[in-house]
A and B are shown apart, each in its own frame.
Chain A
Amino acid sequence: ACGDTEDVQQEADATSEEAYDNLIVSHFQPGNHPLQTEVLDGLNEDLEEQTDGRISMEFYPSNQIGDADSQYDMAVTGEADVSLSVSGYSAGRFPLVTVMELPFMSESAEHASEILNTLYEEFPEIQEEHHDTNPLFLFSAEPAQIMSRDHRIENPEDMEGLRVRSPSPLGNELIESLGATPISMPMGEVYEGIDRGVIDAAMVPFETLYNYSFYEVVNYVTVGDFAAQPFFSVMNTETYENFSDSDQEIIDDLTGTELAKEAGSVYDADGEVGVEMAKEDGVEFIELEGDAMSPWEEALSPAVQEWIEEREEEGYPAQEIYDRARELEEELS
């Protein structure tokens, strides 16, 4: 219904469903999360403005129309026109974006988001794992650090025998290769876990110092940028293809790397607040830099090698992707 006679058409079409698309946007964060109130709302405003109101978004936060780990499938089937969630919640589905979960790949969420989105644009194999939707932007949370109440962790050996909350299945392997025991635990329980000694440490991003008040229970933070968590925001293919070429172009222009960076910076902003609060509370930050880093790289390199080998065996150019990611890490920092 879009075309040259737009102005005349618009009034007539106001009541028809095709002319005005109210996209169903489903995501896993609460409705007051900046991911909605800043990033998605901003996208919505731009869309409405640039398409003269032909496209707008209607938000369904907090998994109210489907589980966090089904958000991607919902965009595949069209239950949601747009969905956003954590890639790792659908294990096995995205073998390549997990490259961001490897250690030392990024230094902030914005940084990680830019790397991830660039990798997506450069590698057809990463596009292929999202072939059943039309991705809008891939982004990332902040890299995880190691936080502990009682243990000042500076060397990999300090991790020996500790019970550590793991961020992901790949995180399990990282933790195991440091000689520690990975524990899977929902984020909501980590505070108490640390406080009551159920776990000795947690591999979590700075943002949790603030959002989960970890600054109250944690005394040491080892800053090594161990693993970042990739997210997706994708559109149902049919929804996308039903738009006119010009509208598709508007969508393409408004999404992509810039929006990914904006989404990442939401997590960085919380992270900064968290670090601030923790410093005020006397938490010690142990920065792993230069020489302090090498034993960690050594200890974790088998896990990285394993990630590469496993995927190479499955026929993915994993080495190439990993190398390029490291390159981008330097280039974009």
Chain B
Amino acid sequence: QEFRFGSCRAKGVDLQELWEAFWAVKDAVQAQDNITSARLLRREVLQDVSDAESCHLIQALLKFYLNTVFKHYYKRTVEFRTLKSFSTLANNFIAIKSQLRPSQENEMFPVTERARGRFLLFQRAFRRLDREAAVTKAFGEVDILLTWMERFYRL
């Protein structure tokens, strides 16, 4: 059982553990999201991602979630149950990200550019919102991210 994002591999992650952590806080988090007209992880970001692109894209997304979304959301996490779920997600994202080795060869440039383009769509949508609202929405969309990641999880 591992994630296979193209040539990238990530072991030692039990996807069920991530889902259970997110389900534990999903209602509370999504209830705080008042902007129902916008979606950050839109279809254009995650649909028809090639295997070759997938490693570059997941690395960028996990890095953004760790450095921006989780970091800011942490300050508002006072309830221990949320804090625990939050910690499980954040630490498993680190476990995955630390194993990803996206290829840097020159001929991969078109692929990395497509992946970058998808990530920029997500990041621009995030920046269009007020910071607090954007962090809440992004955290509430972790199920969209996990659903997409599940496609690359090999039993």
A and B from one complex = no
